[in-house]
Amino acid sequence: MDMSSIVPSPATARDGRSKSKRAGKILQTMKMLDEAVTPKNDAMMSAIGSMPNQIVSTPANHLNVYDHSLFGSHLSTGQNLSMISEPNNTLLMEPTINLLELSTPTQMSMTDTTANFNYAMLENPGLEATASIFMDFKKCLSQHGMSCDIYDLISSYEEICDDYEQLLKKIMTQVTPENSAIVERLGKYLKEEKHTWRLVHSLFRDKFSNCSEEAMAVNDALVFYTSEKNIIDDYFDNDSDIRQAQIVIDWLERNAADELTNIADQLQHYTGCVTWENTLHHLKARKSRGTTTADGMILEMDPDAPTRTRKPLADLDREDESRLLKCVFSFIRGGRINEAEDLCVSHGQPWRAATLEGWKLHHDPNTVNTSEDGGLSTIEGNPSRDMWKAACWALSNNDLYDVKERAMYGALCGNLKAMLEVGGSWEDYVWSYYKTMVDVATEKRIQQSANIRRPWQHIHSMLLPDEYFLQKCELDDVRTVFEKIGHSPDKSIAEEAKNPNHFIQRCIILNDMDGLLDEILLWIDEESIHPQLLRFAAHLLLILQSFGMTLNYEKCAQILEAYVKQLISDGRAGHLVAAYTACLPSDRQLDCYATFLETIEDGDLRKEYLELASEAGLDVTAITKNVVERIRAQGVPDTAPLQVSQGDDLTLEPPLTPGDHKKIDAIEWLVFDPAQRSEALKQSNAVIRGFLAARKFSAARQVFQKIPRDSVEIIHREWHAVADKDVPLPAGTDNAIREHICVQAYLSAQSTFSDWFKHFHNKPHEYEPANQASTFASVSLSDLVAEEHRQKKQEEELGRWREVLEGLCFAALDKIYNVLLFPEGGWLVDVREDTEDNEENRCRHHQMSLLRRLYVPSLCDLLLNVLLNTGGRNDQCSKLADVIADEDNKLYELFTKQEGKRILERIQDAMVDIL
């Protein structure tokens, strides 16, 4: 069963929700129109009546612009409107909408099918709920196929993965524990794939949009005043390595930010707006009691008190502090530092929020120009950033601080060790290394710039320790970073680095496309690749090819072909095969799609798959021909030289095999398109020759009936549509038509003889008297009457039998002579010489020659049987002798000596009987 047809797609549900909102807007607009046209006064009515077009067009235009159906949210307004006229984009937008349908409760209730679907009833909820993702990707690829902006397509892929990830999260609450593990793994995989599409979008947009600008950019040395901010801005504008590294950081932070939902709200349950309120309450209570003895807690409330005095906070405050630091670090890890600062302020630690601001680069615009009103512009950044950074470095290396706090400030100052201590995943490790890499690179650039003007209070900068610059995170050696992560002493991180999605992300970041292709091929060879991963790999390759990247031609073809084969083997995705086969190299499209069609037996599906192939731009003519030839080659190929024994009994017909039925049905592939009718004749002739050689006349007749009766007329019409009327058909086509007519003549003769033969052997019994014991025996009158009635009835039946036999005799003689006296050279003889010399033509001529030698003598024997067994026709045997001996037809050449001797003896005996 095709589960994609019953399990709702999240993309479809999203489309339904969009239509529901759209319907609401339409109904609201209609209500406003009703109110507007209420006849309050004639002036209003006349004003409305004078502009009907504007009123009617308003909701439609509003509808087209805001219709965010399947992937429509990624298109600009102009793109949405332009796609209305495209016939293949009906999923994107509907040009006409029935307002009454949209307003019905039934229609509105279908807008969120996924929320109401009971996934617990499915045998494998995870796999079946994600079965339609293959179709969603295909729709997306088809809709964006002609789009010039490839980034819309990538965004659509990301959105599809997110939809299914959210769907699987909902399913987790419905399924049994046995199925939850599969659902969870699929959800995790789709999340990682979503992240990968996000990475491709960010990296390649920068790479291909800035490459031309970088080629023209000139990195002139700045000789005048500049600032830290200007230095780094120029660095990022002109150096793709630092820019790409920052994009990786932004990507990792965005991935982490997806998991920060309601994290700050959860923290409200544990902390208040006053920091360390339990410790403060304890100190106040001790002061009010006048107690001076130490109880092991801090005695001051300044931020450095716990580390300076090495005394702890109250137990509850320590727990709250730990939760706060964990939450703040999570915000920093997610790139949401402003929210981290707001969190610190709301929990009574504005001083900590201020420390999180110290990383900003200093820039004073007043040294270059002033504002238009003559005032001063705001100074940006931290003029004492070097001192702040040195303090952060020292704090992040101090074991007295909480590990999360050290990681927080380590991320702000580029301390790799501090960040790795809290890293729990492969992405955390990559983020830590890249944060350090970018931080060190920018710091070096600032220190190497001699023309930075600083405030007079901060002329003497504070240098960072050598340990900072010896962390071995260089922009020109990013491959080493991933090698270190892959060989991490933390086994879980090293194992996670082998994750297929992480490996693909690594190759994309390193631009290692050869390594990517080799690894995917290895997964395919080992048959360890999941169908979802193969789908992703195939679409990723198509995206990379769209960017014009240099990829190994053969390796890409193997991966795409593996995906097509997976779709074929699935059995439920046949309607997707054509679109992806069209993405293969042209030399592989024919074999791949022909292999798929070879297994299709349903006539309606055959027609549908050919239409899909035509829409995809495949060579349908060559494919269908290849399908038929593949089927013909199965079992005993009908192209092999015919081996026929002259002593075989031609009246016995062997039973048909399943392979025979498959060859018969294969001809249907060639009759859908009128332009292929000539090829249909050629292929059907070849199949019929094989069946005739095997004496399978019923099979030959079934093949002949597969060819429509108007085929010869269609062939002439199609030919004259491209050639002048005076130009004859090609020799090969003309010969195929003649052979088709020859086959028709023989099958007709064989069929009429079979009718005569059956009728001849169904002769009624002749009349025999009932009582022959004594001629003097007494017989009653009633018995005599009954006997006369029986005699008369049998004689009538015998008379009718002779009458029918005479008619069948005339028909059989006519049909057989049509074959023996076939005009213009004889039966199964080409009139025109085909100049094309190939194996197929040589095999055809050989087969036709053998069939003539086999069936012409046989037909002569059959004709004699008809003459000799239909009373009073012995005198016509001489005509047959004349036909055989005629020098124009030279039928005698087709007889062996034994055959010729035997038939002449039979004719001679028939003539003697006349005398």
How far is residue 769's CA from residue 362's CA, in Å, rounded to a whole number?
133
Cα 351 to Cα 268, 340, 358, distances in angstroms: 19, 12, 11
Complete DSSP assignment for 625-653: HHHHHHHHHSSS-TTSPP---TTS-TT--
Alpha carbons 71 and 68: distance in angstroms, whole number = 7
With bands split at pLDDT 50, 70 and 90, how would you rate the model's confidence at 350?
very high
How far does the chain reach from its first CA to its final CA, in angstroms? 77
Q: What is the pLDDT of residue 112?
A: 47
Is residue 186 a contact partner of residue 161, using CB atoms and an 8 Å limit?
no
Average pLDDT in the chain: 81
Predicted local distance difference test score (pLDDT) of residue 784 = 78
According to DSSP, residue 518 is labeled H
Average pLDDT on 176-182 reads 85
Contact by Cβ (8 Å): 478, 249 = no
Nearest to 684 by CA among 753, 750, 624: 624
Contact 160, 133 (CB under 8 A): yes
pLDDT confidence bin for 892, thresholds 50/70/90: very high
Query: Which range among 165-169, 249-253, 442-446, 672-676 has the greatest average pLDDT?
Result: 249-253
Q: Quick one: pLDDT at residue 59?
A: 30
Whether residue 627 contacts residue 591, with contact meaning beta carbons closer than 8 Å, is answered with no
d(CA 810, CA 841): 37
DSSP β-bridge partners for residue 215:
none
φ, ψ (nearest 5 deg) of residue 490: -80, 110
Tokens describing residue 386: 């070097």
List b or e across 158-180, with b for residues whose CB sees 16 or more CB atoms inside 10 angstroms. bbbbbbbbebbeebbebbeeebb
Range 421-426, long-range pairs (CB < 8 A, 24+ positions)? 422/329, 423/493, 425/493, 425/496, 426/485, 426/493, 426/496, 426/497, 426/499, 426/502
* Rounded average pLDDT over 201-209: 91
Give SS3 for 829.
Answer: coil
Residue with tokens 């007043």: 366
CA nearest to 362, candidates 238, 464, 454: 454
Listed residue (214, 219, 243) closest to 441, CA to CA: 243
pLDDT of residue 769: 67
Question: Domain map of the chain by residue range?
Answer: 3-216, 228-291+314-370+379-500, 512-608, 731-769+784-914
**Rg of the chain in Å (alpha carbons):** 45
Q: Measured at the alpha carbon of residue 603, what is the angle toward residues 602 and 606, in degrees to the nearest 5?
A: 90
Fold assignment, 731-769+784-914 = Delta-Endotoxin; domain 1 (1.20.190)
DSSP 825: T
More confident: 218 or 456? 456
Instruction: Enter the tokens of residue 814.
Output: 């006519």
Q: What are the residues whose beta carbons fall under 8 Å from the beta carbon of 299, sequence distance 6 or more? A: 283, 305, 309, 311
Residue 766 has pLDDT above 80, yes or no: no
Farthest CA pair distance, the chain:
162
Structure tokens at 768: 């025999």
**pLDDT(758) > 80:** yes
Q: Helix, strand, or coil here: 704?
A: helix
Predicted pLDDT at 6 = 44
Question: pLDDT: is 94 or 599 the higher one?
Answer: 599
Q: Which two tokens stand for residue 738?
A: 């003649």
Alpha helices in 239-314 (DSSP H): 240-257, 263-267, 277-289, 305-309
| CA distance linking residue 538 with residue 534, whole number of Å | 6
Q: Whats the size of the chain, residue-wise?
A: 915
> What is the DSSP-derived secondary structure letter of residue 48?
H
pLDDT score at 765: 77
- Provide the 3-class DSSP secondary structure of residue 95: coil
Confidence band for 910, pLDDT divided at 50, 70 and 90:
confident
Q: 3-state DSSP call for residue 380?
A: strand
Torsion, Cα of 443, 444, 447, 453 (10° steps): -50
pLDDT at residue 771, rounded to an integer: 56
Least confident of 81-90, 279-288, 745-754, 882-891: 81-90
Q: How confident is the model at residue 5 (pLDDT cuts 50, 70, 90)?
A: very low
The answer to whether the CB of 620 falls within 8 A of the CB of 647 is no
Structure-token pair, residue 791: 């005699």
**pLDDT tens track for 318-338:** 888 999 999 999 999 999 999
Neighbours of 83 (CB within 10 A): 20
Residue 638 has a pLDDT of 61
CA 605 vs CA 3, 172, 575, 601, 821: distances in Å: 18, 36, 9, 8, 44
Please check the confidence at residue 310 and state whether its pLDDT lies above 90: no
Measured CA to CA, the distance from residue 737 to residue 443 in angstroms comes to 84
User: Which of 104-113, 371-380, 509-518, 524-533 has the lowest average pLDDT?
Assistant: 104-113
Q: What is the pLDDT of residue 255?
A: 96
What is d(CA 275, CA 325) in angstroms, rounded to the nearest whole number? 12
Q: What is the mean pLDDT of residues 278-283?
A: 86
What are the tens digits of pLDDT across the range 585-639?
A: 988 999 999 999 999 999 999 999 999 999 999 999 999 999 999 999 887 666 5
pLDDT at residue 71 is higher than 60: no
State the average pLDDT over residues 21-47: 41
Rounded CA separation 91/71 (Å)? 9
CATH of 228-291+314-370+379-500, one of 1.10.10.10, 3.30.930.10, 3.30.70.270, 1.10.3450.20: 1.10.3450.20
Q: What is the pLDDT of residue 293?
A: 57
Per-residue pLDDT reduced to its tens digit, 538-555: 999 999 999 989 899 999
Percent of the chain with pLDDT over 70: 78
Give the DSSP H/E element, type plus range, for residue 861: helix 839-869
**What pLDDT sits at residue 591?**
93
Q: What average pLDDT score do residues 787-809 get? A: 86
Backbone torsions φ then ψ of 656, nearest 5 degrees: -80, 140
pTM of the model as a whole = 0.79
Sign of CA dihedral 435, 441, 444, 449: negative
Could you tell me the CA-to-CA distances from 507 to 511, 520, 558 in Å, in that order? 6, 11, 19
Report the distance separating Cα 513 and Cα 507, nearest Å.
6
Amino acid 362: pLDDT: 86
96's CB contacts (< 8 A; 6+ apart) are none
The alpha carbon of residue 502 and the mean position of all alpha carbons in its chain are separated, in whole angstroms, by: 23
Tell me, what's the pLDDT at 23?
Answer: 45
Q: Which range is least confidently modeled, 207-211, 317-321, 652-656?
A: 207-211
> Where do we find the tokens 């059956």?
758
> What's the one-letter identity of residue 542?
L
Q: What is the mean pLDDT of residues 779-804?
A: 82
- d(CA 711, CA 680) in angstroms, rounded, equals 9
Domains 228-291+314-370+379-500 and 731-769+784-914 share a fold: no
pLDDT in tens, 552-587: 999 999 999 999 999 999 888 899 999 999 999 988
- How far is Cα 718 from Cα 680, in angstroms, rounded to an integer? 14
Among residues 438, 354, 364, 417, the alpha carbon closest in space to that of 388 is found at: 354
Q: Name the least confident of 348-357, 424-433, 445-454, 862-871.
A: 445-454
